[in-house]
Chain A
Amino acid sequence: MKILVVEDEPDLLRVLAQALRESGYAVDEAADGEEGLYKARAWEYDAIILDLLLPKLNGWEVLQRLRQERKTPVLILTARDGVQDRVRGLDSGADDYLAKPFHLTELLARVRALIRRSAGLAVSEMQIGQLVIDTRSRTVSRDGSVIPLTPREYSLLELLALNRGSLVTRTQIYEHLFEEQEESFSNLVDVHVSNLRRKLGGDFITTRRGQGYLLHD
């Protein structure tokens, strides 16, 4: 799961990125509206956290232009907490609105809910065969016993599970799992997939040669 944070306050940007990373997300950062819009258009993020008062291009502009191309879930995080600001933000195409100062745990819960909703899920648990994926605690269990996964393995499984039944390309996996400045080797995905297969057992994951992977029910 990859998230873009657009925030012009350097300290806050750093804290947000760190908190999200510690929750297992890949995080890209942008310090102004132009950079934010560019990244949001260029990559496929699972969610975007957007400040409103941004240099160069304000948050509403970013949102309006982004909405012409993509429907990435957007959470507005701003110090402007007037009702009019909230309404304007939500009407511009935001999916959620949180005022500063905020509780970090609430922000993380809202980000989880955003991603879940955009995948069409109503609850935080997914069931695939005998596997239960709990997106809140980020754990996978079979018959009540937890299967130990690394954060990245879990993220890969969650990505496949959210798109189950349809093909997930290697590019998509790179985009959702790795941050822009990370050095990633081309076979890293294959390594994670084979690890997942070993830990989960069975043939949940199907490989389409040269295209990507598919998760069956």
Chain B
Amino acid sequence: MTKSIRGRLQWWYGSILSVALTCFGSLVYLQAERDMRDRAMRQSLAALDDLAAGLRAARPRHPRGGHPGFRGESLLENAGGLPLPAELLFPVPPPPQPPPPAADGESAGGMFRGRPPRPGVGGPRQGPPPDGARPPLGRRGPPDRLEFVIWNPDGSRMLQSRGPGAAVLASLERPTALPEPQVRQTDQALQVFQLGPADTVLLVHRTLSDDRAGLRLFGGMIAGIGGLTIATAVLGGRWIAGRMVRPIDGIAGTAATISAARLDRRIETSGLEQELVPLAQVLNQTFERLQLSFQQLTQFTADASHELRTPLAVIHAETELALLQPRTAEQYQDILRTCLRSAERMRGLVDALLLLARGDARQLQLTGTLVDLRDVAGEACAQLQSRADAAGVRLELINPAVSARVAGDADLLGQIVGNLISNGIQHTPGGGTVRVQVSNPEQPELQVVDSGCGIAAEYLPRIFDRFYRVDESRGRRSGGNGLGLAICRSLAELHGAVIECRSEPDKGSVFTVQFPQPPRGLASDQTVNQGNG
């Protein structure tokens, strides 16, 4: 079974329609069959009545022998005025199409009564049926007949019709008859019999083969029309289903044309079917996010490339210049120092980029041990003391008496604190203070407070962005690469912590990192300074 919506739709309504049509067709067919039998029965009963009436009318005035006598002549005269022996055959008028013919039985009976069979009619067909009606289309056999047998009370046959059915009639046993009509029926014929006047037994034999053939034809027509209807419906449904899924093709087509180079395109939702609008909207939102991250990535790559190119340009130009002409040893040393400085800067940048990339890819594995923030802060302050001294900035550390344990990685936590302190030193003029404060009121918290230049409110939302510098010159001159705070945020998020900044221009900034409570039952603090070497 195919996976296409179109195919499935077709299959389903094809099946449902088939079942419905089959039921309907079967009902109609069964009804038609019943009508056919009813009609045959009515005709046979009418013929029986006519036979009985004919017999009564033919009752002789001078009975002969031991049994009430009949004269076949008078019977037949009464029945139709035919000379003896007549080929008694009552052709069944073809039923008008379509069934059921309510008046059919009457007309058959009427014919029997009022319109006598004519000579030769009972034999093989020699002309059109007597009532002039054309036989139903495709009828193969001879028309159905009404035939009869009359038995004398002693069991001998008094009279029987002649015709194609004579052989069948001849083989019939006299049935045990009652005054009321009784019915015997097989697939091919219907027999009705009863006691006639003067203990005669009357039997009317009604063949059914031609009716059956008509019925088969009718069944075939129902099946044919049904099949044709189903085929038409399936084909039409295919067309409709095609129209229905065409907007999906349209959406797919548009989505396919939206590539990296054309991320600004969107799926048009205005002319779309109501059911498809949510799909298009979801796709559009996805493209929106994709475009945004693509832009961020492009910007990030451009920035990273810019940051890497500048020190590279220094190394390149410096060495090229050095090689232009012979220099003194001192000049060479200067050149090498410049190159080394640039190489250091590139290394720092590459390290930072790698850290960020691994953070993005969630490749940084937290060791998952308990680390005391007090120890991390102490270690970071010790490492950066000399830089603070060189900048003329006082570095303070305020640690609480109680521990402030967080679940995480001591190395990465050290990076956060170190970056925040470096940032504070960078933006604090000589004579100022950078204070590192660990507290644990409800959850572990680390603050780095500086008395520096502060950050204007409009820049605050962007300071954690990669390569964002509030003041281009300051960052560049002090060797910052614009990634320090971005790394802080990335690493903080990795620890499930929230980092934020409050700042007031010319007064200073407060960076706060709030950590979640470590889960209970974590391996106890085994480690604290292990990674900070």
Contacts and interface: CB of A to CB of B under 8 A. Distances in A.
Given A11-B341, A79-B305, A105-B320, A100 B310 contact: yes
Contacts of A14: 338
Contact of B306 (A32, A54, A79): A79
Contacts of A80: 302, 306
B312 interface: yes
Interface stretch (A16-24, A129-137, A154-162): A16-24
Interface stretch (B437-445, B472-480, B498-506): B472-480
Nearest to B338: A11
Given A101-B317, A104-B320, A104-B321, A11 B342 contact: yes
Interface residues of B, number: 26
B313 A102 contact: yes
Contacts of B199: none
A22 B317 contact: no
Contact of A11 (B307, B314, B472): B314
Interface residues of A, number: 28
B126 interface: no
Interface in B304-345: 305-307, 309-310, 312-318, 320-321, 324-325, 338, 341-342
A64 B314 CA distance: 27
Contacts of B305: 79
Contacts of B307: 79
Nearest to A14: B338
Contacts of A56: 473
Contacts of A100: 309-310, 312-313
A103 interface: yes
B471 A55 contact: yes
B321 A102 contact: no
Contacts of B302: 80, 82
Main secondary structure of the interface of A (DSSP, over half): loop
Which of A9, A32, A54 lies at the interface centre, i.e. has the most chain B CB atoms within 10 A of its CB? A9
Contact of B476 (A8, A79, A102): A8
A105 B323 CA distance: 11
Main secondary structure of the interface of B (DSSP, over half): helix
A37 to B, nearest CB: 15
Nearest to B324: A22
A53 interface: yes
Contacts of A8: 472-473, 476
B313 A79 contact: yes
Contacts of B312: 100-101
A12 interface: yes
A82 B299 CA distance: 12
B113 to A, nearest CB: 107
Nearest to A99: B309
B321 A79 contact: no
Interface in B507-532: none
B325 to A, nearest CB: 7
A15 interface: yes
A210 interface: no
Nearest to A52: B306
B472 A53 contact: yes
A10 interface: yes
Interface of A: 8-12, 14-16, 18-19, 22, 31-32, 53-56, 79-82, 99-105
Q: Which 4 A-B pairs have the closest CB atoms?
A: A55-B473, A100-B313, A79-B309, A101-B313
Interface of B: 302, 305-307, 309-310, 312-318, 320-321, 324-325, 338, 341-342, 471-474, 476-477
Given A56-B473, A104-B316, 5 more contacts: A11-B314, A15-B338, A18-B321, A19-B317, A53-B306
